[in-house]
């Protein structure tokens, strides 16, 4: 549509052409309207197909994320398990230190008087 066929309306909105340029199949304002609508319909079909593909992909990703979350939760230790591990390590360290000090006293290397 050429600029000469368009009239500028209030607030810079464009309005219909001043004259009918119909092509005899419905009295439209532009002869290429049918072809443009057909292209738009094809594009909408493509968009719908792409949207369906995206929905399927999101569902697959969601399933994988749920599996990953449960796997990580089962492999990582909870807070009380961490307390148990560090408590056990600390107890083992204290026992070993006590054994070393006792051995040093028994051998006579360490002289601690009461």
Query: Residue 6: beta bridge partners?
Result: 17
- Is the pLDDT confidence value at 60 over 90? yes
Tell me the mean pLDDT in the region 37-61: 93
pTM of the model: 0.40
Give the C-alpha distances (Å, rounded to integers) separating 59 from 33, 62, 64, 68.
Answer: 39, 5, 9, 14
Tens-digit pLDDT profile for residues 11-47: 555 555 555 555 555 555 566 788 889 999 999 999 9
- Please, which residues have CB within 8 angstroms of residue 105's CB and are 6 or more apart in sequence? 111, 112
pLDDT of 9 = 56
Report the C-alpha gap between 101 and 114 in whole angstroms.
Answer: 15
Rg (CA), the chain: 41
In degrees rounded to 5, what are phi and psi of residue 76?
-85, 150
- Residue 7's DSSP bridge partners are 15
Per-residue pLDDT tens over the stretch 75-107: 776 778 888 889 999 999 999 999 999 898 888
| Separation between Cα atoms, residue 69 and residue 52, nearest integer Å | 26
């Amino acid at each position: 549509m050429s600029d000469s066929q368009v009239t500028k309306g209030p607030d810079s909105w464009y309005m219909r052409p001043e004259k009918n340029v119909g092509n005899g199949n419905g009295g439209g304002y532009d002869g290429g309207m049918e072809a443009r609508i057909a292209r738009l319909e094809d594009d909408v079909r493509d968009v719908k197909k792409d949207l369906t593909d995206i929905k399927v992909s999101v569902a697959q990703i969601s399933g994988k994320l749920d599996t990953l979350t449960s796997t990580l939760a089962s492999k990582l230790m909870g807070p009380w398990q961490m307390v148990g591990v560090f408590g056990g390590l600390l107890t083992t360290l204290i026992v070993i230190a006590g054994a070393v000090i006792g051995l040093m006293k028994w051998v006579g290397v360490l002289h601690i008087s009461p």
